A = this chain, B = another copy of it.
Amino acid sequence: MLNERDKEVLCAIVQSYINNPDPVGSRFITKKYAFSLSPASIRNIMFDLEEMGFLRQPHTSAGRVPTDKGYRFYVDYLCSHEHQCDNRAFFYEITRELESIKNDIDILLSETTKRLSNFSHYLGVALSPKAGSATFNRIKLLKHRRNHVVTVLFTDEGLVRNKVVDVDFDLTQRDLNRIASYLNSEFYGYNLNEIRTKIVREMSEEKILCDTLISRAIRICREVLSSPYGNIFISGFTEVLGLPDFSDVEKIKEISRAMEDKHLIIKLLDKFSESAKDEVQVVIGSENSLAGMKGFSIVAATYKEGSMPVGSVGVIGPTRMDYSKTIAMVDIVSRFITKVIADGS
């Protein structure tokens, strides 16, 4: 379908457009990329590429601009061929400044997204480990005021999560200890998702209903596990505003709406962390299933606890994005986080 020369021209056009947001013309290609072809020949090729849907013209007698399909081809081409990118500066910054933040994954992620957006000039995003896949280690219950219980949940992954739970019954610390030790023995080693389903199942069972201690325990535990999603971190909005792609107020509104609706982004990133692929993944513009996110591209990867992906980190930007650089960065970052988690254990 596409011969080698067509591919090269297409990539040249995409690359040129990424460097500079002007529609690129045939003359420019011959000059800059020194094909041994005349502008006229390039024009013929461009015409074909447009027919096949890789390029489009903003208006007659302007140069060509890549379509989402064009970007897709470019990205796949990048990935299939070896390519290098000098991201050493970024790598050093990340490792040097952030390695010390070991015991608070939230701070680590928040700082990481800041660095990511600084270097990429796009939005840096990260999703903290999904509680669901973490493994229950033990729970501690502490009495707090009349009818509040402070719960502290430990997981094998080192995640610590606390939550104040309302209870409608008065309990002594001694009661709480008994409840905690019940939960500890019952749930040790399961992951939180399993526990959640276990709870649903058991809540209807008779023996639970009768035993007030156990039913209270279950109720508290359900509260603790109620929010399945982790935190999301987004930074670099100011960075994005500097891009020529956002010189238009409408565009700004679009991305700001997308940002404010964090649930969408969470769902999106969540999909990434479920797919167990071991690579940076790229979603381009209209490939995106979410209405508010068409027009943007997402480059993301998962980070792991052991061999299990537990969260994701990435970048959101315009479809006209420096994919090569960004993919490399996200790769670095995801590996880095995986490593820090591993070191911390």
Contact = CB atoms under 8 A, between A and B. Distances in A.
A213 interface: no
Contacts of A248: 249
Contact of A252 (B148, B166, B252, B257): B252
Interface residues of A, number: 34
Contacts of A257: 238
A163 to B, nearest CB: 8
Interface string A240-265: 01100011110011001101100000
A252 B256 CA distance: 11
A160 B248 CA distance: 45
A345 interface: yes
A164 B150 CA distance: 16
Nearest to A253: B241
Contacts of A253: 238, 241-242
Closest 7 CB pairs of A and B: A103-B164, A162-B162, A238-B256, A238-B260, A241-B253, A150-B160, A238-B257
12 contacts: A103-B165, A104-B164, A148-B158, A160-B164, A162-B162, A235-B260, A237-B259, A238-B253, A238-B256, A246-B249, A248-B249, A249-B252
Interface of A: 102-104, 140, 142, 144-145, 148, 150, 152, 154, 158, 160, 162-166, 235, 237-238, 241-242, 246-249, 252-253, 256-257, 259-260, 345
